[in-house]
A and B are shown apart, each in its own frame.
Chain A
Amino acid sequence: MAARQPFPGFAEIHKTNGLMEMKKWWLAAVAAIIATSGCAKEETEQKQSLQRANLLRTHTSGTAKHAELNQGPAERAVAYLRQRDDVRDVVAVNSGDRLLVAYQIPHMKRWSRKQIEKDIDHKLRDMFPGYDVVSSSDLKIFWKTKELKANMDNPRWDERKFNQEIRRIEKLSKEQT
């Protein structure tokens, strides 16, 4: 009868440890993949997207206060950009002689992002010669402009603050570093 070994052999320990280590790694990898794929759904992004929203509606209450700010140029800019196939989503606001347009470029068309930006900027400047046009495809500018537009429905909306915010976004869009 073979003598019972009190301790498992080195190779056996090594094998068990190796298997456990591998299991751990695979579990961590699977957890990471699930977490990242869950994030990839971009739920908040979809909620923020204005693709299904009525972009032309800038005020709902119809009060004189909101009617003061004619959003005609912004509406025309949105209508023009929505026709283009190199623009996925667009939001625009205008105040005084300032027109702020933010848009998103489809993912695969971002290769020629600079060209698209240049082209859109030229077209908008031609369309609105009397306006100081600020256009950007930056996501942050898009979020901020969308927020600004949403705030126009707020009863406590203030035109002075609105102009300040437009200037701030304009400054942000020109920042390089």
Chain B
Amino acid sequence: MANEKRKKLTPVQQEYHLFEKERETKRPIVRNCVCAFLVGGIICTIGQAISYFYMYFFDFTEQTAGNPTVATMVFLSMILTGLGFYDRIAQFAGAGSAVPVTGFGNAVISAAIEHRTEGFVLGVGSNMFKLAGSVILFGTFSAFVIALVKTIATQWGGL
């Protein structure tokens, strides 16, 4: 907690804060980073292999193979989430499984499973994009901002 905030706390609260800090479980940050790096890398390697598969066996170029690859990866992660396997991977890998596009499929399906009991329309239908909605919104918005920056840089910046 920031020092300024801590000053506003009562002595009892400060004491409790110190008591809690001594006993809280330390987060293994380095281990988490290594796990995220390894699992994220493995997911990307699988994605690259799928991309090569589409290029080799179908008429997709390096540029166009991205679309079916993303669709396949999202579909696979949806299946794995439904089977309950992706949750285990996520527990081990953390951001390594959430940041790649597979995390999007996981966010959609896990929300759908969670709200299944509330019915298909008001439960699954309205809550399916509860988590993934923010990904779509901020993804679209950041793409727009970057496109704007690129346009300005290339049109007037002379890049």
Contact = CB atoms under 8 A, between A and B. Distances in A.
A172 B58 CA distance: 11
Contact of A25 (B49, B55, B62, B92): B92
Interface string A24-37: 01000100110010
Interface in B57-71: 59-65, 67
Interface in A34-62: 36, 39
Contacts of A15: none
A138 B63 contact: yes
Contacts of A143: 55-56
Nearest to B39: A29
Contact of A177 (B55, B59, B67): B67
B42 interface: yes
A138 B61 CA distance: 7
B145 interface: no
A173 interface: yes
> How big is chain A's contact interface, by range?
10 to 19
A175 B38 contact: no
B103 to A, nearest CB: 18
B45 interface: yes
A65 interface: no
Contacts of B42: 32-33, 36
A33 to B, nearest CB: 8
A172 B61 contact: yes
A20 interface: no
Contacts of A139: 55, 61-62
> How big is chain B's contact interface, by range?
10 to 19
Contacts of B64: 175-177
Contacts of B92: 25
Interface in A154-177: 172-173, 175-177
B62 A39 contact: no
Interface in A11-30: 25, 29
A46 B60 CA distance: 21
B89 to A, nearest CB: 9
A99 to B, nearest CB: 19
Interface string A79-106: 0000000000000000000000000000
Nearest to A40: B45
A29 B38 contact: yes
A140 interface: yes
Given A143-B56, A173-B61, 18 more contacts: A29-B38, A33-B38, A33-B42, A36-B42, A36-B45, A39-B49, A138-B61, A138-B62, A138-B63, A140-B55, A140-B61, A140-B62, A140-B65, A141-B61, A172-B59, A172-B61, A176-B63, A177-B64
20 contacts: A25-B92, A29-B38, A33-B38, A36-B42, A36-B45, A39-B49, A138-B61, A138-B62, A139-B61, A139-B62, A140-B59, A140-B61, A140-B65, A143-B56, A172-B59, A172-B61, A175-B61, A175-B64, A176-B63, A177-B64
